[in-house]
């Protein structure tokens, strides 16, 4: 079957299985994220407590992420992924059982969130490597863009289903549905064809430790600037799990259904951003800075939205810009890193996302509790705008100090460039077979991110930061 250029990754049998499992799994993840946040908020009535729940999921990635990268670069990715998904399925069932008992405290919920974070930290880099192995280097950029759209669509469906299911069936039903999604991932892994994988090289002798990955990351100032911008935007600029819940529970007085509606609006914006990123031939740094500015300015304006409808409308451009930013950062990180260090570079990106979630969740929760959700949004938006301007200055200095010949090539988006017929060989860049992470703009995520094939925003099935 012939596929259009924008869908060419679907010609791979293993990718089709993985993309289907990704969509189902991401849907379950966002159902669980909304249900867990709402359960903690319902028990405590505190946005700060909800933010601490995010810390429990993201903190392990900051501590254990480098070891997850080492595991990804040394062990077969497929079996690491299967182990992680099995553990998370069991944890989702435990959450469902706890919710059935109508807990009066959040201690057990925090404990399960912490164990989930440990599983995410140790397996997310392997998810990134495995995503590249199911699609191969030629179609990797296309798979990244498709994964972003799938992740956004799964977020929309998951939050829509959770918003409807929580009032009708309770939060326990949502947790059990998420557990079923993990079973679908395991089935997809079993059905894949081993001969159609595109394996990446394992760690080279002498470069099998954590230090090798850190040396690579610290040697690239552009990557450091992008990581710094992603940290600020992920922690204060786009940690809308906290602020949307606080606005729905407080000034907007919209309840659980309003929180679900806002989450769906945000997810709809990520779809628009994913489609836009996929339609572009190049994703230059200038576009990254524009997207960061739109996110920050949108947050400033959203703090003054008087109604649920206007606040939801503000989520659309913020979310779209967030996906463009995350896709550009994630693609550059993944395509520029060598195969034998890929897992450790992915783990470094995951650590940035986890740190942003761990710092931003409690900080925004405390600001919402002390200053109010509206003031918290305005203040965080101002800080994010300052970070975007600082990143623009940093990139400008790098352009002035580096020779023109050393300037980085722009990131190529999923649309293929026609190659003239003839015997002339087409040079390829070393290390182009880059893996991708599943999750996500993600946000701050951790968590990104999702187990999905190519979602940059997030890290795989992590804290779920939008």
pTM of the model: 0.66
Determine the Cα–Cα distance for residues 188 and 17; give it in Å rounded to an integer. 6
Answer yes or no: are the C-beta atoms of 287 and 328 closer than 8 Å: yes
Asked if 457 and 273 count as a contact pair (C-beta separation under 8 A), the reply is no
| Each residue's pLDDT tens digit, 360-386 | 777 888 888 888 889 889 898 899 999
Among 115, 88, 94, smallest CA distance to 28 is for 88
CA distances from 219 to 13, 215, 336 (A): 38, 6, 13
Element (H, E) at 282: strand 282-283
264 neighbors 162 (Cβ within 8 angstroms): no
**Please, what is the angle between helix 240-249 and helix 308-336, to 10°?**
170
- Contacts of residue 227, defined as CB under 8 A and 6 or more positions apart, other chains included, come to 217, 329, 348, 349, 352
Rounded to the nearest 5°, which phi and psi values hold at 197?
Answer: -75, 160
Cα distances from 85 to residues 122, 127, 453, in angstroms, run 11, 10, 14
Between CA 77 and CA 73 the distance in angstroms is 8
Among 342, 320, 10, CA closest to 147: 10
Residues 6+ apart with CB under 8 A from 221: 394, 398
Q: How far, in Å, are 208, 212, 213, 338, 340 from residue 205 at the CA level?
A: 6, 11, 14, 14, 10
What is the band of 450 on the pLDDT scale with cuts at 50, 70, 90? very low
Question: At which residue do the structure tokens 């954590």 appear?
Answer: 210
What DSSP string describes 207-255? Answer: --SHHHHHHHHHT-HHHHHHHHHHHHIIIIIS-HHHHHHHHHHTTT--H
- CA torsion angle for 338, 341, 346, 350 (degrees, to 10)? -150
Q: What residues have CB less than 8 Å from 203, skipping those under 6 apart?
A: 70, 73, 74, 340, 341
- The dihedral sign for the CA sequence 190, 193, 199, 203: positive
Q: Where are the alpha helices (DSSP H) in 136-170?
A: 140-169
**Residue 407: is its pLDDT beyond 80?**
no
pLDDT band at 456 (very low <50, low <70, confident <90, very high): very low
% pLDDT > 70, the chain: 82
In the predicted model, what is the mean pLDDT of the chain? 78
pLDDT of 55-86, one tens digit each? Answer: 788 778 778 888 888 888 888 888 899 999 99
Measured distance CA(397)–CA(391) in Å, rounded: 10
Count the helices and strands in the chain (H runs, E runs): 14, 2
Under DSSP, the state recorded for 11 is: G
For 448-463, letters b (16+ CB in 10 Å) and e give: bbbbbbbbbbbbbbbb
Comparing 10-14, 21-25, 53-57, which segment has the lowest mean pLDDT? Answer: 53-57
Q: Distance (Å, rounded) from C-alpha 392 to C-alpha 331?
A: 19
- pLDDT value, residue 421: 44
Least confident of 188-197, 215-224, 248-257, 429-438: 429-438
Question: Mind listing the pLDDT tens digit for each residue in 112-164?
Answer: 989 988 998 888 888 878 877 888 777 776 777 778 778 777 877 887 888 88
Going by pLDDT thresholds of 50, 70 and 90, the confidence category of residue 294 is very high
Looking at residue 91, what is its pLDDT?
A: 93
Stretch (H or E) spanning 412: strand 411-412
């Amino acid at each position: 079957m012939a596929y259009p250029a924008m869908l060419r990754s679907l010609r791979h049998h293993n990718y089709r299985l993985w993309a289907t499992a990704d969509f189902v799994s991401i849907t379950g993840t966002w159902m669980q994220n909304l249900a867990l946040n709402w359960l903690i908020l319902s028990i405590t009535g505190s946005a700060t407590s909800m933010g601490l729940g995010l810390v429990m999921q993201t903190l392990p990635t900051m501590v254990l992420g480098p070891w997850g990268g080492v595991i990804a670069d040394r062990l077969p990715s497929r079996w690491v992924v299967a182990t992680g998904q099995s553990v998370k399925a069991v944890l989702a069932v435990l959450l469902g059982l706890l919710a059935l008992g109508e807990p009066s405290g959040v201690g057990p919920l925090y404990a399960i969130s912490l164990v989930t974070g440990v599983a995410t930290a140790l397996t997310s880099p392997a998810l990134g490597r495995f995503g590249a192995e199911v699609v191969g280097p030629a179609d990797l950029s296309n798979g990244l863009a498709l994964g972003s759209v799938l992740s956004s669509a799964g977020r929309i469906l998951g939050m829509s289903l959770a918003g409807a299911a929580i009032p009708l069936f309770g939060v326990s039903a949502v947790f059990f549905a998420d557990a079923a999604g993990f079973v679908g991932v395991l089935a997809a892994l079993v059905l894949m064809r081993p001969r159609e994988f595109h394996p990446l090289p394992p760690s080279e002798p002498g470069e099998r430790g954590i230090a090798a990955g850190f040396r690579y990351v610290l040697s690239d100032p552009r990557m450091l600037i992008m990581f710094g911008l992603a940290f600020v935007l992920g922690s204060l600029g786009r940690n809308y799990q906290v602020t949307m819940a606080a606005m729905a529970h407080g000034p907007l007085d919209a309840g659980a259904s309003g929180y679900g509606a806002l989450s769906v609006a945000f997810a709809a914006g990520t779809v628009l951003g994913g489609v836009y990123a996929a339609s572009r031939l190049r994703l230059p740094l200038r576009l990254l800075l524009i997207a960061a500015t739109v996110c920050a300015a949108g947050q400033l304006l959203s703090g003054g939205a008087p109604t649920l409808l206007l606040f939801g409308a503000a989520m659309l451009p913020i979310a779209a810009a967030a996906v463009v930013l995350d896709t550009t950062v994630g693609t550059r990180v993944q395509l520029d890193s060598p195969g034998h260090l890929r897992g450790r570079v992915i783990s470094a990106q995951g650590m940035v996302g986890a740190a942003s979630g761990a710092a931003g969740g409690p900080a925004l929760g405390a600001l919402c509790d002390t200053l109010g959700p509206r003031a918290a949004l305005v203040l965080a938006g101002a800080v994010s705008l300052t970070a975007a301007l600082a990143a623009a200055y940093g990139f400008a200095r790098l352009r002035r100090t580096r020779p023109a010949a050393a300037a980085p090539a722009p990131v190529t988006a999923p649309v293929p460039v026609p190659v003239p017929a003839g015997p002339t060989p087409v040079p390829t860049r070393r290390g182009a077979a880059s893996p991708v992470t599943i999750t996500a703009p993600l946000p701050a995520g951790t968590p990104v991110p999702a187990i999905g094939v190519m979602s940059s925003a997030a890290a795989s099935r992590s804290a779920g930061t939008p």
